[in-house]
Amino acid sequence: MKLRIIFNPHSGRNRRRPGLGDDIRSFISARSLDAELLVTEGPGHATQLARAAVAAGASVVVAVGGDGTMNEVAQGLVGGPAALGLVPCGSGNGLARHLEVARTPSAALQLATGADGRIVAIDTGLANGRPFFNAMGLGFDAEVSAAFNQSKHRGLAAYARVGVGALRKFRSEQCRITSGASRTELEVLLIAVANSDQYGNNARIAPGARADDGRLDLVAIRPLGWLGASLLVPRLFFGNISHSRSVFRLTKARFTIERAASGLIHTDGETHATTALIEVSVRPRSLRVIVPAGSIMATNVPPLAPSTFTL
């Protein structure tokens, strides 16, 4: 089994782990793996490395980083035979948490490179053609992502500080959400479209959502004052945000979001400028991912063979 491990040294907690690359090399050597460690050099490089790994015959390509690194590596694997392994080292690690992947590098590496995991096929979301695998968003969601990406600090506390600062300045916007014959007009603070159930850090923006159900969960939050926000945030972590009257939720395979002007969106935490009209769709079960045998998604999925991977 040929493996390629793509390591982003600047992602999240990796900045504070200068020896992690050497630890991964030692892991490979100690197990005599047919593996190579590849280090990213900038934005978009992980996708190039993933595509080259597939072309070279890799069966598994492992992403060592946060949701942004995961997104780039996954883009190089969508629709192909290689499976994605995750070693979550970011600030939120939303998809890894949803898939119940261990959050310590050694345990995650063991899962991704061993024979104890299972391969499942998960969905890919598309927002104006940009792939996402965990979540995309606009409005306040995208503004916070943009500010957080400029911050020198990582982690939930740093994200919360950035969010409080952004909430002071952000103004709500009018959006039209269309799915088939259904049309809804809303004034929103943010719109999130989730493939998994959470942003990361167990903040569940779409409780009950699954990354393998062929659908996406749109969650729109209406404008909130400070009191409303302070009441809503705990719901994220208790998993009952959908019970709030400030929340509108729609679960579909395809819809459009239209706002007054062009602006930012984020896809798995990375921000992009795009048009006022955003076409959102799902590509069902298009990415193969390694998950723990005990994961709910691994039910009735056979174990990995020592030299080949099959669903």
Helix (H, G, I), strand (E, B) or coil at 189: coil
Q: How far is CA 238 from CA 97, 172, 241, 268, 301, in A?
A: 15, 25, 8, 22, 30
Q: In 97-189, where do the E strands start and end?
A: 118-127, 130-132, 135-139, 173-179, 182-188
Q: What is the pLDDT of residue 91?
A: 78
Q: What is the pLDDT of residue 170?
A: 66
Q: What is the pLDDT of residue 68?
A: 92
Q: What is the pLDDT of residue 296?
A: 83
In 3-state terms, the chain is what percent helix, strand and coil (to 5)?
30, 35, 35
Q: pLDDT tens, 218-266?
A: 999 998 877 888 888 899 889 999 999 999 999 999 999 999 999 999 9
Note the pTM of the prediction, 2 decimals: 0.88
Dist. CA 186–CA 246, nearest whole Å: 11
Dist. CA 144–CA 107, nearest whole Å: 31
Q: Which of 10, 5, 211, 190 is nearest to 97 (CA)?
A: 211
Dist. CA 140–CA 163, nearest whole Å: 9
Low-confidence stretches of the chain (pLDDT < 70) are 12-17, 146-170, 300-311
Q: What is the pLDDT of residue 121?
A: 96
All domains of the chain, ordered by start, with CATH? 2-123+285-298 (3.40.50.10330), 130-284 (2.60.200.40)
Q: How far is CA 200 from CA 109, 178, 205, 246, 286, in A?
A: 20, 27, 9, 21, 22
Q: What is the pLDDT of residue 209?
A: 96
Q: What is the pLDDT of residue 13?
A: 62
Give the side-chain half-sphere CA count within 13 A for 310: 5
Q: What is the pLDDT of residue 115?
A: 80
Dist. CA 302–CA 294, nearest whole Å: 12
